């Protein structure tokens, strides 16, 4: 009995040891699997992730219908949506950035489509015609690098942020569509297209003194000039004042020579954007722009005021109501006064048919209600009606010109 008992106890002990060994092996195996999964996860990170590089983008496809039905040409006073009855490849944007909290970084925005065409052909890249006169555009038309600049944060106080290269203007409320700002309407305002520039090239510094006060200040080639078209530079800057989380003001200024080969001419622009957000669902915005220019001497048939000086100003108001995450209603109204015609008529290359009766310049206004619906994360469907009006016959209708213009626009826009 004793021998049998010993054998039984030995078997039990051996089984227990085997169980312990098996459990230990299983735990070791699980630990190895966990470690392997962790290693695979770490290696699965792309080089971009490891370097802190981020990718974003925008795709915007529009359709615009001009109720005026002009025989030729598109709607007047439009920036990018200037086709009278057409689908428009408005914008394909690729945004790449590395923006560390300190040290060196960069931002690049590549644009394709109508937006790229317009911005590119508004910009001076250093090209000249056969007579040696500066001409805009670099011949790529359908492509434009709207932003390409280096950044560096100097570790002083809250951080002095510097950027050098080409970047969008600080002026005005509306922007060239970006992944983090697609504006509130399908079409851009008159102020966006004619009162302010698109981009600048130069050096800009930004510093936040507090949550309520920040300053942007720099030196640039001028308005829409990658290469300088005269012998002078312009100063460009902005001041943020936010006395309350629901109220903010952004005041910008630009001053310097902008005329081709004419450093005596000086252009001044200031814009004031006031934003009031009483609730999370409701936002009010007011955008005022004022500009003037001295010693103007346009070449190529441009409009030159008798005094050689010109001024323009305008104001736009926005009311935005977002009752739910997937619905937004926006109303924009604006008026723009260009008494010398140096911004609207000259910028559009307007000819003077017998039925197009204007004096030195025009006063124009418009209102635009827009409804936006979020179909899915990042994907919005926007629809708008827009009415433009002028104090003279500015808008094409059939084979003549009238004072009013009506359009319908629809847009699918995706951001990521």
Domain count, the chain: 2
Percent of the chain topping pLDDT 90: 66
pLDDT band at 101 (very low <50, low <70, confident <90, very high): confident
- The rounded distance, in Å, linking the Cα atoms of 73 and 144 is 24
The whole-number pLDDT of residue 40 equals 57
Percent of the chain topping pLDDT 70: 83
Q: ∠ at Cα 339 (338, 342), nearest 5°?
A: 60
Q: Is the pLDDT of residue 20 over 60?
A: no
Q: How far is CA 227 from CA 81, 232, 298, 346, in A?
A: 27, 11, 19, 22
Structure-token pair, residue 328: 């937004």
- 407 with 317, same domain: the answer is yes
- 59 with 39, same domain: the answer is no
Mean pLDDT over the full length of the chain: 87
Q: What is the pLDDT of residues 154-182, one digit of tens each?
A: 999 999 999 999 999 999 999 999 999 99
- 308-332: average pLDDT: 96
- 34 with 163, same domain: the answer is no
pTM of the predicted structure, to 2 decimals? 0.84
- 60 with 170, same domain: the answer is yes
The whole-number pLDDT of residue 129 equals 87
- 38 with 51, same domain: the answer is no
With 0-12 / 13-18 / 19 or more C-beta atoms within 10 angstroms meaning exposed / middle / buried, residue 121 is: middle
- 284 with 173, same domain: the answer is yes
- 1 with 96, same domain: the answer is no
- 224 with 98, same domain: the answer is yes
Q: Is the pLDDT of residue 351 over 70?
A: no
- 397 with 353, same domain: the answer is yes
Q: Which domain holds residue 60?
A: 45-415
- 247 with 335, same domain: the answer is yes
- 228 with 245, same domain: the answer is yes
Strands annotated E in 194-233: 199-208, 213-220
- 277-291: average pLDDT: 98
Highest-scoring range by mean pLDDT, 18-22, 84-88, 266-270: 266-270
Q: What is the pLDDT of residues 363-414, one digit of tens each?
A: 999 999 999 999 999 999 999 999 999 998 889 898 899 999 999 999 999 9
Q: Is the pLDDT of residue 299 over 50?
A: no
- 187 with 279, same domain: the answer is yes
- 47-59: average pLDDT: 85
CATH number at residue 234: 2.40.160.10
Provide DSSP, 394-413. -EEETTEEESEEEEEEEEEE
């Amino acid at each position: 009995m004793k021998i049998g008992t010993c054998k039984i106890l030995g078997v039990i002990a051996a089984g227990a040891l085997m169980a312990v060994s098996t459990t230990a092996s299983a735990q070791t195996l699980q630990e190895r699997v966990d470690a392997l999964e962790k290693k695979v996860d770490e290696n699965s990170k792309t080089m971009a992730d490891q370097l802190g590089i981020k990718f974003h983008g925008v795709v915007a496809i529009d359709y615009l219908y001009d109720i005026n039905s002009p025989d030729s040409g598109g709607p007047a006073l439009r920036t990018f949506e200037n086709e009278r009855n057409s689908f428009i490849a408005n914008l394909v944007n690729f945004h790449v950035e590395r923006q560390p909290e300190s040290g060196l970084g960069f931002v690049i925005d590549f644009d394709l489509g109508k937006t790229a065409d317009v911005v590119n052909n508004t910009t001076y890249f250093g090209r000249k015609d056969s007579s040696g006169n500066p001409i805009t555009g670099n011949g790529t038309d359908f492509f434009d690098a709207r932003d390409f600049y280096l950044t560096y944060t100097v570790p002083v106080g809250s951080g002095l942020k510097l950027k050098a290269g080409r970047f969008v203007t600080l002026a005005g409320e509306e922007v060239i569509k970006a992944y983090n700002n697609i504006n509130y309407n399908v079409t851009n305002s008159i102020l966006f297209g004619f009162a302010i520039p698109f981009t600048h090239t130069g050096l800009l510094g930004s510093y936040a003194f507090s949550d309520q006060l920040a300053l942007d200040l720099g030196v640039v080639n001028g308005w829409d000039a990658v290469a300088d078209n005269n012998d002078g530079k312009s100063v460009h800057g902005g001041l943020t004042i936010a006395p309350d989380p629901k109220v903010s003001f952004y005041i910008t200024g630009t001053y310097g020579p902008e005329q081709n080969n004419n450093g005596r001419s000086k252009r001044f622009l200031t814009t004031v954007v006031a934003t009031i957000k009483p609730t999370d669902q409701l936002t009010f915005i007011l955008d005022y722009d004022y500009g003037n220019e001295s010693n103007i001497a346009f070449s190529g048939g441009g409009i030159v005021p008798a005094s050689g000086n010109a001024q323009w100003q305008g104001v736009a108001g926005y009311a935005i109501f977002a009752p739910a995450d997937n619905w937004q209603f926006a109303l924009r109204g604006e008026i723009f006064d260009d008494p010398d015609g140096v911004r609207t008529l000259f910028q559009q290359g307007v000819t003077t048919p017998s039925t197009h009766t204007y004096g030195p310049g025009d006063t124009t206004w418009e209102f635009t209600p827009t409804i936006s619906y979020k179909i899915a994360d990042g994907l919005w469907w926007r629809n708008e009606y827009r009415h433009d009006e002028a104090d003279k016959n500015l808008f094409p209708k059939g084979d003549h010109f009238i004072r009013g213009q009506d359009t319908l626009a629809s847009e699918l826009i995706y951001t990521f």
